[in-house]
Amino acid sequence: MLIINLLALALLLLSLMRRALLTFDPSLSAIAWWGAAVNFSDDGQTLLSAMPWPFQYLIKHYLAYFLCLYLASQALLGLLPIPIVVLGLIGSILLLLACIDWFYFLLPNPLTFLLIVVGSVSSTFLLGMETINIILRCTACYGVLRVIQGVYYLLRHKVGLGSGDVKLITALACWFDLYQLSFLILLASMIALPFCLLQYRGLRSLHTVIIPFGTFLSLSAFYCAHLFYKDFFNVLSVAMYL
């Protein structure tokens, strides 16, 4: 039963991510984007076109809602671990941010703020961190990055670190301490460096390159989560099969 629930959760998250990506438009407000994703109608699913019309319509438009109700009932019955749901949601948000930043060089505020909320709650209840420590760490991280951003702009007269990247790093501070966060940023920079060198071969052109740094931050966050919280994932995997 657990395998079926995990597959249903994966299908739901993939469906929501697909809706969000296909309906995203930088010119839309958060409410308009949410409305477009809710009313999303996809005519490109060839497997569904062979089904009778009522079933095709129901699956296209209400599959996500049916899955939400089913997974909620399974979680209430204890057949679907809540930590798995939370981790799946966090991973989906990070992947969505990575994809949007890669194509649009933009990190939407609603997703970043949602990541902060989910991160704060999950760190408190799953990792046992104190709420006041999370607030202080995120505040200090945001303040330091803003100062660095302002100083760089004063010296170079151009933006070195985007506001979306600052907010994303602040959201990641909900899980990682300053040492871990420093390693995460360093790893993201190392991953981004080959991208810069492949796109711009001249050293002078490197000063004008725009990097989707949020994409590399998200990828680095996945590895750092596995690196720094390996014991948590091991305990969780054992608990799933007991």
**pLDDT per position as a tens digit, 155-203:** 877 777 888 999 999 999 999 988 999 999 999 999 988 887 776 665 5
Question: What is the average per-residue pLDDT within 40-69?
Answer: 64
The tally of CA atoms less than 13 A away on the side-chain side of residue 172 is 29
| Domain ranges within the chain, ordered by starting residue | 1-80, 81-242
With H, G, I as helix, E, B as strand and everything else as coil, classify residue 44: coil
- The share of the chain scoring above pLDDT 70, in percent, equals 85
pLDDT at 208: 63
With H, G, I as helix, E, B as strand and everything else as coil, classify residue 150: helix
Q: What is the pLDDT of residues 81-117, one digit of tens each?
A: 888 999 999 999 999 999 999 999 899 999 999 999 9
pLDDT at 53: 55
For the chain, the 3-state helix, strand and coil shares in percent, each to the nearest 5, are 80, 0, 20
pLDDT at 55: 59
Asked if pLDDT for residue 49 goes beyond 60, the answer is no
140: its two tokens: 């200090």
Q: What is the pLDDT of residues 202-231, one digit of tens each?
A: 555 555 667 889 999 999 999 999 999 988
Asked if pLDDT for residue 15 goes beyond 60, the answer is yes
pLDDT at 59: 65
Task: Judge contact between 18 and 45, C-beta under 8 A.
Answer: no
